[in-house]
Amino acid sequence: MSESVLADPLVPPPTGGGSPPAAARPVPRRGRVLRRLLKQPVATGALIFLLLVVLVAALAPWIAPFDPDRQELLGRLQAPSGEHWLGQDDFGRDELSRLMFGARVSLLASLQAVVIGVVIGVTGGLLAGFVGGRLDGLLGRLVDILMAVPGLLFAITVVAVLGPGLTNAMLAVGLLLTPPLFRVARATTRAVREETYIEASRALGYTTRRTVLHHVLPNMIAPVLVQITILLGLAITIEASLSFLGLGVQPPTATWGSMLSDANAYMAEAPHLIYVPGAMIALTVLSFSLLGDGLARAMGTSRFAVAEKA
């Protein structure tokens, strides 16, 4: 096997004359993946919706009609009007402004949690799958223990120990997201580790670091990216649950979960307060799920195969 073939991490050599296994298939180039993704109307719609949510969240300080924390007690629980398009909450604060600023916190919080999960889960899965042996067994048992604990109960326990607040809540959520990322990374790494080109790279004297960076990580991109899109939606749901219980972001900062918590006590008097944040959570989570399906098809993998690994 020539060194020129080994130098390209995205083109592993054939094994036995057939097509490479799913875990070792070359990752399509980014432009090709994007073209395939945009050919799927449902995934494209989900992507456009998420981009709009991100854009509104990023521009919230400039496009929000009011200060999200400004109270106007004379207008508390008012229905939507020409001045306040989504009405006012129990303190007379503008719901549209709080929804925009709440999107910033909810998205950043979910991203923070997923980053924690990726750093811990993917790194641990890579080490467990490539090194194997006792390290694989130890890390695998730790992940099994973490998976055996009810997710929301674990998050509540962590927040209770460390104290309420967004950072502590997202640390708990990030730990909850570690097991599926760990299992996907370990399964992919173990499949790639058995390939002929890994043995050839070792025979040619390539360092472990170079082998991992050039051959293992590129083959891990597709399943990990699909898993990340799914977990982003899950992180938003968990963050909203913790904020609803008062264990996430603290008042007066707005998140979609805290807005639901505030509106819960006034469902009979002002039901409009609960509809929009609830719909935004549902649509955002659904969009991440649909985007994950589309991304899986565009990258030539299967979301169900990723789920089986996790």
Query: What pLDDT score was predicted for residue 13?
Result: 41
Span 176-190, pLDDT tens digits? 899 999 999 988 888
Tell me if 233 is assigned to some domain.
yes
Tell me if 68 is assigned to some domain.
no
Query: What pLDDT score was predicted for residue 262?
Result: 86
Mean pLDDT across the chain: 81
Tell me if 17 is assigned to some domain.
no
pLDDT at 14 exceeding the cut of 90: no
Which residue blocks in the chain are alpha helix, DSSP H? 3-6, 30-38, 41-58, 60-63, 95-131, 133-148, 151-162, 166-176, 178-193, 196-203, 208-211, 217-244, 256-264, 272-298, 303-309
Which residue blocks in 150-255 are alpha helix, DSSP H? 151-162, 166-176, 178-193, 196-203, 208-211, 217-244
Tell me if 35 is assigned to some domain.
no
Instruction: For residue 173, give the nearest of 254, 248, 229 by alpha carbon.
Output: 248
Tell me if 224 is assigned to some domain.
yes
Span 148-165, pLDDT tens digits? 888 778 888 888 888 877
CA 93 to chain centre: 30
HSE-CB of 211 using CA atoms within 13 angstroms: 22
Tell me if 9 is assigned to some domain.
no
Q: How deeply is 19 buried, as exposed, middle or buried, from its count of CB atoms within 10 A (0-12, 13-18, 19+)?
A: exposed
Tokens describing residue 90: 């129990």
Tell me if 74 is assigned to some domain.
no
Phi and psi at 295, nearest 5°, equal -65, -35
Query: What pLDDT score was predicted for residue 301?
Result: 64
Query: What's the CATH number where 256 sits?
Result: 1.10.3720.10
Confidence of residue 21 (pLDDT cuts 50, 70, 90): very low
pLDDT at 282 exceeding the cut of 70: yes
**How many domains, in total, are found in the chain?**
1
Give the range of the structural domain holding residue 137, as residue numbers without chain letter. 50-61+93-309
The percent of residues in the chain predicted with pLDDT above 90, rounded, is 25
Tell me if 42 is assigned to some domain.
no
Query: What pLDDT score was predicted for residue 30?
Result: 59
Span 216-266, pLDDT tens digits? 777 788 888 889 998 999 999 988 888 888 887 778 888 898 898 888 888
- Evaluate if pTM is beyond 0.75: yes
SS3 (DSSP) at 21: coil
- Residues 113, 170 contacting (CB under 8 angstroms): yes
Q: Which residue has the higher pLDDT, 199 or 287?
A: 287
Least trusted range by pLDDT, from 116-125, 142-151, 203-212, 240-249: 203-212
Q: Which residue has the higher pLDDT, 253 or 209?
A: 253
Span 44-100, pLDDT tens digits? 999 999 999 999 999 999 999 999 988 888 888 888 888 889 988 888 899 999 999
- Bridge partners of 15, per DSSP, are 18
The percent of residues in the chain predicted with pLDDT above 70, rounded, is 85
Tokens describing residue 241: 């649950």
Whole-number CA gyration radius for the chain: 23
